[in-house]
């Protein structure tokens, strides 16, 4: 299945299919023969997808735009594939294909689990190299260092990796994937369990972030990127569409301030497209929203209001600097 619902039901509980392509792109090309090389690979994403949005943020913060090109699929797709309907003629200008499925099918191993974004395609062969969203961003931070911009932050500092891994696993289980377990629950009991886990973890995160600006250490790390993409979609889609309705993000003061702090940091808000986010969830998940009607709200201008998180200290980019403006072709609509 192409959409983010890719998975199965076990006792009416949604279980995400995590059989991702294990191939990695590394600095020296080991162990799979794919070396980090400027101009060779194309990152394919959708602005709507939170898993893909992570890779867009990481690529921008690290300044990898010049080394890794980016193809952007539209927010609505069919049951088979994400498509390049935002491009002239509906064809990706670099890969020359109308459907991301074509790059998956070019693989010699007959990969079956589904056509997902993000995906990194080797432009020399037209084949998807990897779609493992968790590994992609870690490798951006650690394997592509030769191509990082001057002043790029360390998003996965070695001294903090154990804590980052621990925190982001909790976030993944209960929040990133937890909203989907709520939205796609097959029975009341499954929904209730997912709902309680989700808001229990959000309460835990609120407490953790009440005295610290970022999740781990005093700078932005991989953990913050992974939490942000779910928070950015919370009021727009998860609160109503996925029935995550104990509280809106705007009603959780610590998390709302934290999310605004990140949104107003270069690399976060300027990679977030609320219109495409809503179009995807409400227009693709027709089993949940049969009419396909896309709500006009909420009013997103409040994302730009002061957050006051500077009082907690911390340095967003550590010893580094903010990225410059995004390339013209990659800009999202301003609020």
The tens digit of pLDDT for each residue in 105-119 reads 999 887 878 899 999
Token pair, residue 253, equals 């003061």
> Do 67 and 39 form a contact (C-beta atoms < 8 A)?
yes
Write the CA distances from 272 to 47, 52, 88, 100, 228, integer angstroms: 7, 11, 22, 21, 10
Q: What confidence tens digit (pLDDT) does each residue in 260-316 have?
A: 999 999 999 999 999 999 999 999 999 999 999 999 999 999 999 999 999 999 999
* Residue boundaries of the structural domains of the chain: 7-147, 159-330
CA distance 306 to 262: 12
- DSSP E strands in the chain: the ranges are 7-10, 13-16, 41-46, 69-73, 119-122, 127-130
CATH 3.40.50.10860 corresponds to the domain 7-147: no
Tell me, what's the pLDDT at 2? 44
Phi-psi region at 309: left, alpha or beta (left = phi > 0; alpha = psi -120 to 50): alpha
Which residue in the list 20, 41, 104, 180 is annotated as catalytic? 180
Tell me, what's the pLDDT at 335? 92
CA distance 103 to 123: 10
The correct CATH number of 159-330 out of 1.10.357.10, 3.40.640.10, 1.20.1050.10, 3.40.50.300 is: 1.20.1050.10
Residues in the chain: 335
Tell me, what's the pLDDT at 76? 93
Q: Is 82 annotated as a binding residue?
A: yes
Tell me, what's the pLDDT at 3? 47
Query: Catalytic: 180?
Result: yes
pLDDT < 70 positions in the chain: 1-12
Which residue in the list 20, 41, 49, 258 is annotated as catalytic? 49
Tell me, what's the pLDDT at 6? 58
* CA angle 135–138–141, rounded 5-degree value: 150
């Amino acid at each position: 299945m192409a959409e983010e619902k890719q998975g199965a039901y076990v006792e009416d509980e949604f279980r995400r299919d995590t059989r991702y392509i294990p191939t990695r792109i590394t600095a020296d090309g080991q162990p799979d023969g794919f070396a980090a090389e400027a101009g060779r690979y194309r990152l394919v994403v959708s602005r709507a997808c939170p898993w893909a949005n992570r890779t867009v943020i990481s690529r921008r913060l690290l300044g990898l735009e010049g080394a890794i090109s980016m193809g952007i699929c539209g927010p609505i797709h069919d049951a088979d594939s994400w498509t390049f309907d935002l491009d002239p003629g509906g064809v990706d200008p670099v890969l020359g294909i109308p459907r991301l499925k074509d790059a998956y099918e070019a693989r010699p191993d007959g990969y079956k689990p589904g056509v997902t974004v993000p995906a990194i395609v080797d432009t020399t062969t037209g084949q998807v190299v990897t779609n493992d969203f968790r590994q992609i961003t870690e490798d951006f931070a650690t394997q592509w260092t030769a191509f990082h911009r001057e002043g790029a932050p360390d998003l996965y500092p070695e001294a903090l990796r154990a804590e980052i891994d621990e925190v982001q696993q909790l976030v993944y289980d209960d929040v990133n994937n937890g909203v989907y377990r709520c939205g796609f629950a097959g029975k009341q009991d499954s929904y209730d369990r997912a709902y309680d886990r989700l808001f229990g973890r959000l309460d835990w995160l609120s407490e953790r972030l009440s005295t610290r600006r970022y999740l781990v250490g005093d700078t932005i790390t991989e953990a913050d990127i992974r939490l942000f993409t779910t928070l950015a979609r919370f009021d727009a889609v998860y609160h109503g569409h996925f029935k995550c309705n104990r509280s809106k993000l705007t009603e959780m003061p610590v998390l709302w301030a934290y999310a605004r702090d990140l949104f107003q940091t270069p690399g976060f808000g300027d990679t977030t497209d609320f219109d495409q986010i809503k179009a995807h969830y409400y227009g693709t998940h027709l089993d949940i929203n049969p009419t396909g009607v896309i709500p006009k709200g909420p009013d997103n201008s409040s994302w730009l209001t002061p957050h006051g998180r500077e009082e907690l200290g911390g340095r967003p980019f550590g010893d580094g600097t903010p990225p410059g403006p995004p390339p013209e072709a990659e800009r999202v609509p301003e609020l």
